[in-house]
Structure 1
Amino acid sequence: MSCLLFLGHFVALCFWHVSAVTVESDNYDVQQLEFGEATLTCRYRLEKDQIVRLEWKKLDRNGDVSLVYFNNSLADELEKRAKMMGPNIWFSNLSREDSGKYRCEVSAPQDKRIFQEIVIQLSVLVAPSVPICDIPSSATSGSVVELKCREKEGNPASEYKWYKNGLAIERSAKAVNSSYKVDKATGTLHFNTVTKEDTGEYYCEANNKIGKPQRCPAKRMQVDDLNLVGIISAVVIVSFVIVLCGFGVCYLQRRGYFSGGKSEKENNPATQAENDFKHTKSFVI
């Protein structure tokens, strides 16, 4: 009796699973090169033969949803390079903007479970572009220096490698307490303290294993010691010029060049006294 009950529950459980719409895909992670072709598959099984509602939607990185296939028609921007093959979508001439998550939704109103969906990731693979490098032309010994390298086209994201005089800079190339650090993910070569030995030609290479690695033009970085003699000499010369200018101003002030434009009569007491005497004499006569 117990065996019959168990068998009955098992049959009921199996019937429940097959009595609802089920949706699946042949590939949930589709990767294809840019300008190539890709097919997103969406297979479904129904409890009863019926007309289903099939929709495809795209989810962007911000979680926003856009319609791809709705009311038995593709979105306008896809009509010329995509088509429906049953419930599946076939893409031609893939672009990097096609990358994202695609959701296949199937509604079967006559089944016990009337709705199910699956999500498929489409990754359009793009080779890296030529990276942009920020390399200083000169630096002073003992200072902190950072070389930067970045490219934004590659998918997946590129890893970066730095070269000096044509040789790859590896973290293990120096001692553990080395003054520099290479970040392969951000493309940064960071020197805590540069030395004259760090002088050389540097360039960076970006690689995501899609297409050929790309590198920026090499640029020389010259590292020199701080010129204390030159700094002291410059300070002495500037101080001498300031003192010389001060003496010049004092001399010109004493000569009356900064008197404010007074007349010669006002500046000569003898001439003023002579004029006063002539005026008085004329008055007496």
Structure 2
Amino acid sequence: MRLCATSCQHVRGAQLHAHNALLCAAHSGPGARNPICPSRRAKDTGLSCPLCTSHYNCAPLNFNPALLTLTTLPTPPHAAPLSWTLTLLCCRMRTLPLLVMLLLCPACLSVSVSSTKPQVEVHEHTDAVLSCEFRTEKDQNPRIEWKKKGKGVTFVYFNNRFTSAYASRSKMEGATLTIHSVTQKDSGDYRCEVTASEDHVNLGEATVTLNVLVPPHIPSCEVPSPVFVGSSLELHCKDQMSVPPATYRWYKDNKGLAAAAQDSPYNIDPSKGTLRFRSVSKLDEGMYRCESSNNAGAPKSCVAQKLQIVDYPLNLTILIAGAAALVTLLLLGCICVCVCRHRGCCGKTKKSKCPSPYAPPPPAARHLKTYKPTKSFMI
């Protein structure tokens, strides 16, 4: 393309702060009038053409700091296709030579979509504003769609209307989507799509991530009771509703238990909410409760439950002792037998050779003669 210096008055979107400068027209193309000789150009300015080495036309231009509108003409044959190059050469400047390159491409004039806040965090039951801004080249009435991405793609706004799940609690302002009274189910990635059929690139999109914060709920606490002295024990606490996930703290008789106490008979996992005892004693007996907390709201606690530590009953003790003694005796007996057999002190009894019992021979098979009836005598 070439830049006509005599018609350059305003540049849209760019300011050139210079005084008493000479605006050298960019490449004027073959056949231009009064081209500057490359030797003269090099002598006067010391600059070279970024496109070729001839066909220049410089014209003086005095201007104030203002907006200049560039008038562009067809691209010369040796320029790259599908790209527009504007070259401003300062042929002569009293203080310092200036070279300004403005590169424009068709994508700059196509539809563009962006969001001023791609990450949105709001509390539950409040409004969430998902911003979406767009600019088009020609199409003044583009198609706007909002979709939610998950396991599949769910339409939120389509064909100039909301879908049934959002119709009663959403609104559109331009391309910006507002969802009222959001819940945890509304968390996810939302995509704003703008389709301008008349533009070079007719589709643009921007993604906004919505994270709905949920304050702690009353956790569920599991405190088994009663527990025998000396046995291991594990207490559980869980809040499955809070976002971000809650951290947990255990209390005994309304006194907080240290999570990492040295030489402690218990161990606490704040992220999982477990309280483990390696071996409980009577000193561990008391009222236990758990508290869940996160940065979305006030902490919540479950109702305190009593942990009762009891001794083994006498009959149970006797039963366990008897069973242990019996097992011990059986093991000792087996060991003694094995040792005795290994040393050979237990002689093997010889088996008496007894004659095999008499088995009478089977009876001889009788040859039965076939009886043939004879003729009877008639008297």
When normalised by structure 1's length, the TM-score is: 0.72
1:234 deviation in Å?
5.1
Provide the C-alpha distance between the structure 1 equivalents of 2:143 and 2:252, rounded to a whole number of angstroms.
Answer: 60
1:16 deviation in Å?
4.6
Q: 2:145 aligns with which of 31, 52, 55?
A: 55
**What amino acid does structure 2 have at the position aligned with 1:197?**
L
1:58 alignment partner, SS class: strand
| Larger Rg over CA atoms | 2
Superposed CA offset, 1:175-213 (max 9, x none): 1x5443222222111223333332221100111232321
Give the aligned partner of residue 289 of structure 2: 203
Provide the C-alpha distance between the structure 2 equivalents of 1:235 and 1:183, rounded to a whole number of angstroms.
Answer: 34
Superposed CA offset, 1:2-60 (max 9, x none): 57459759533x43552332211121121222222221110012233443221101123
Q: Counting helix residues as a fraction of each chain, which structure ranks higher? A: 1
The runs of 4+ residues in structure 1 deviating greater than 6 Å are: 235-238
Which structure carries more relative contact order (alpha carbon 8 Å, separation 6+)?
Answer: 1
In structure 2, do the counterparts of structure 1 residues 234 and 69 end up closer, same or farther at CA, with 3 Å as the change threshold? same
Verify: 1:162 aligned to 2:235, yes or no.
Answer: no
Give the aligned partner of residue 129 of structure 1: 217
Give the aligned partner of residue 244 of structure 1: none
Q: In structure 1, list runs of 5 or more residues that go unmatched.
A: 239-285
**What amino acid does structure 1 have at the position aligned with 2:256?**
A
Residues 131-280 of structure 1 aligned to structure 2 (within 5 Å): 131-172=219-260, 174-175=261-262, 178-226=264-312, 229-233=314-318
Superposed CA offset, 1:106-149 (max 9, x none): 22233333222221111222222211111111223332211111
Q: In structure 2, list runs of 5 or more residues that go unmatched.
A: 1-46, 52-84, 88-99, 324-379
* Root-mean-square deviation (Å): 2.8
Give the aligned partner of residue 7 of structure 2: none
In structure 2, do the counterparts of structure 1 residues 235 and 94 end up closer, same or farther at CA, with 3 Å as the change threshold? closer
1:18 alignment partner, SS class: helix
In structure 2, do the counterparts of structure 1 residues 72 and 226 end up closer, same or farther at CA, with 3 Å as the change threshold? same
1:23 alignment partner, SS class: strand
Provide the C-alpha distance between the structure 1 equivalents of 2:317 and 2:268, rounded to a whole number of angstroms.
Answer: 37
Q: 2:191 aligns with which of 103, 110, 125?
A: 103
Kindly, what percent of the aligned residue pairs are identical?
36
Q: How many residues of Structure 1 are paired with residues of Structure 2 in the alignment?
A: 232
